[in-house]
Amino acid sequence: MYHYIKKLMYTVNVGTPSVPFGRMLLEQFGGANGELAAAMQYTIQGWNCVDDLGRRDLLLDIGTEELSHLEVVGALIRMHLAPLKTDREAAEADPLVTIAGGGGVALFDSMGNAWTADYLKIIGELDVDLRSNIAAEARAKIVYERLIDHTDDPGSIDTLQFLMTREITHLKAFTAALESLEKNPFSIGRLKPSPGIVDEFLNASKGEGSEGDTDMRGPWQNAFGLHLVDAHGGPGDGLSIGDVHGKIPGEDRGKQDSAQKAGTAVPESELVGSKG
């Protein structure tokens, strides 16, 4: 359960309010990569994660912090939107907030799109959820960076710098949580991919490019056992599809190769309850 402490996690000061900047900030309140999305994604993953109580705790620690961040972003936005109430031109630029919302914050992004749970990535497989979270933190970091680039107000920058920094903290924590599972990075779930075909990088885009590019080569065509095959339009389009067979009982399928089960907790020795 939750308690709310009547204090912002970070004190917000705004020198010069800017309605257009306040509107930009809505991306981190009700936007696709914003704080509510982060809070909900991690918290619900945590509630679903009953097999690994350590990482459950991690998910709820960070999910809860993101809720506190949502409040900080909201306070920052309210200060920037304040002129909406007296400045008609500003009001016209953001009619939804002005007319429907009375100048307060609400769960919209910078273009007035209502927040939707379609933004969330919750697949219910712990290692995969951690990967989704790592990507989410990286995106949020970029969004804060871009916001900092669009303001000169020192107080706003301070707050955004704080929030941006915490995304890197969470990125580190989620990475540690994933790596400590000690899974092979290409072993996802329980079923093995078909050998042979799994290592064929298909060259499906061809020819000289409009951007001056030709058919390029890169490490993604020879790392991790990969090699290049060319699309040719025939059966399998160049892939050795003869190697694919249905899921049958036996050694070769339906088992996970070497990695631990995704949901496996950190060994007892590493997880010590604070009261234990």
Q: Is 209 in the site for a second copy (CB under 8 A)?
A: yes
User: Any contact of residue 221 with a second copy (CB under 8 A)?
Assistant: yes
Q: Is 242 in the site for a second copy (CB under 8 A)?
A: no
Positions in 57-76 near a second copy (CB under 8 A): 57-58, 60-65, 67-68, 71, 74-75
Report which DSSP code applies to 96: I
Cβ atoms of 238 and 230 closer than 8 Å:
yes
- Do 41 and 128 contact (CB within 8 A), yes or no? no
Contact flag: residue 10 with a second copy (CB under 8 A): yes
CB of 62 within 8 A of CB of 173? yes
Is residue 260 a contact residue for a second copy (CB under 8 A)?
no
- With the C-alpha atoms ordered 96, 101, 103, 104, is the resulting torsion angle positive or negative? negative
Of these, 17, 23, 76, 80, which contacts a second copy (CB under 8 A)?
23
Q: Which residues of 150-176 are buried (b: 16+ CB within 10 A; e: fewer)?
A: ebebebbeebbebbbebbeebbebbee
Between 83 and 188, CB nearer to a second copy: 188
Q: How far apart are CA 50 and CA 6, in angstroms?
A: 31
Should residue 103 be labelled a site residue for a second copy when binding is judged by CB under 8 A? yes
Q: How far is the CB of 143 from a second copy (least distance, A)?
A: 6
Check binding of 240 to a second copy (CB under 8 A). Answer: no
Q: x/- binding map, residues 143-172, to a second copy, per CB under 8 A?
A: x-xxxx-x---xx-xx--xx-xxxxxx-xx
Tokens of 70: 């949502």
If one asks whether residue 250 binds a second copy (CB under 8 A), the answer comes out as no
